[in-house]
Structure 1
Amino acid sequence: MQLQSLIEEIHYFRIPVSELEDSVRWYTECLGFKLRRMTEELAVVELNAGPLLILVKADSDSRGHFTRNGEFEFAVGFTSPNIQRLRESLIESGVEVDDMKEEDGHFFFHFFDPSGNKLQAHW
């Protein structure tokens, strides 16, 4: 018998950032998030749908990803119906962007925010 979950949804993800103001600017200008609230310690940004993203001012060596076999693995993935245009826009903005990959009709690429957090976009 499977237990009925008492948890309804994922409300937010926290991502460590080294420079809060720069990160807020990047997430709003490069990715189109809306700033909902900001303090000296953190900023809450949001898209039209999905969980909130909380940018937390952290130590400069903190990252929101992990390693596997010595390689960085992303922890947060974004959906984009216009993934090629998103990738081009990030490149035009000087963002570190990996090559587009495709697996069984699923397109994705990885990129890094100004604090060095590895992220993924897919469609």
Structure 2
Amino acid sequence: MSDPLFTGIHYFRIPVTDLNESVTWYSECLQFKLKFNRGDLALFEIGDGSLLVLVEADTDSRGHFTKDGQAEFSVGFTTPDIERLYDHLVSNDVRVEAIQEDDGHQFFHFYDPTGNKLQVHN
């Protein structure tokens, strides 16, 4: 078998309507490491070295899509302690949905200040 053509995902881009508010939220609430903020976009490093780029976008832009009229997430994160993260987000007044279980792993959805639907699982 030959070497793969791709070795991973370098970064995800998420549209936000207020970059400064979102930079603060992703830094403080999610504790992502801000690498730089150039005013129209900000780059974060996540624990495993993955990158997340926030891009200031039009007010109706979102980083998720709809299926049967319901929002579906585009970005899924991992955590070693889903209940601790869930409690942390709830205590920070983040909009979260209930923890669910599927085929031996747990996950839940939450929303950033722009309304982007995100998922996390363990």
Q: Smaller-chain TM-score range?
A: over 0.9
Gapped regions of structure 1 (runs ≥ 5): none
Separation (CA, whole Å) in 1 of partners of 2:64 and 2:3: 30
- Report the 3-state secondary structure (helix = DSSP H, G, I; strand = E; otherwise coil) of the residue aligned with 1:87: helix
Note the C-alpha offset of 1:50: 4.3
Task: Give the TM-score normalised by the residue count of structure 2.
Answer: 0.94
Q: What is the DSSP-based 3-state SS (H/G/I as helix, E as strand, rest coil) of the residue aligned with 1:91?
A: helix
Moved over 6 A (4+): none
AA of the residue aligned to 1:16: P
SS in 1 for 2:55: strand
- Equivalent-residue separation in structure 2 for 1:102 and 1:78 (angstroms): 15
Map Cα deviations across residues 18-74 of structure 1 (whole Å, 9 max, x no partner): 000110111111111000011111000111214200000000110000001111000
Task: Tell me which residue corresponds to 1:31.
Answer: 30
2:62: which partner in 1? Answer: 63
CA distance in 2, matches of 1:82, 1:11: 24
Q: Distance in 1 between matches of 2:121 and 2:75?
A: 11
TM-superposed CA distance for 1:8, in Å, is 2.8
Aligned to 2:21: 22
Give 1:95's aligned residue. 94
> Counterpart in 2 of 1:10?
9
Measure how far apart 1:3 and its partner are.
Answer: 7.2
Aligned to 1:44: 43
Aligned residues: 122
Moved more, 8-17 or 109-118: 8-17
Do structure 1's residue 83 and structure 2's residue 71 form an aligned pair? no
Q: Name the counterpart of 1:73.
A: 72
User: Secondary structure of the equivalent of 2:42?
Assistant: strand
| Distance across 2 between alignment mates of 1:9 and 1:122 | 19
The CA distance in 1 between the partners of 2:2 and 2:75, in whole Å, is 27
TM-score, normalization by structure 1? 0.93
Q: Which residue of 1 aligns with 2:106?
A: 107
Structure 1 residue 5: Cα displacement:
3.8
Percent identity reads 55
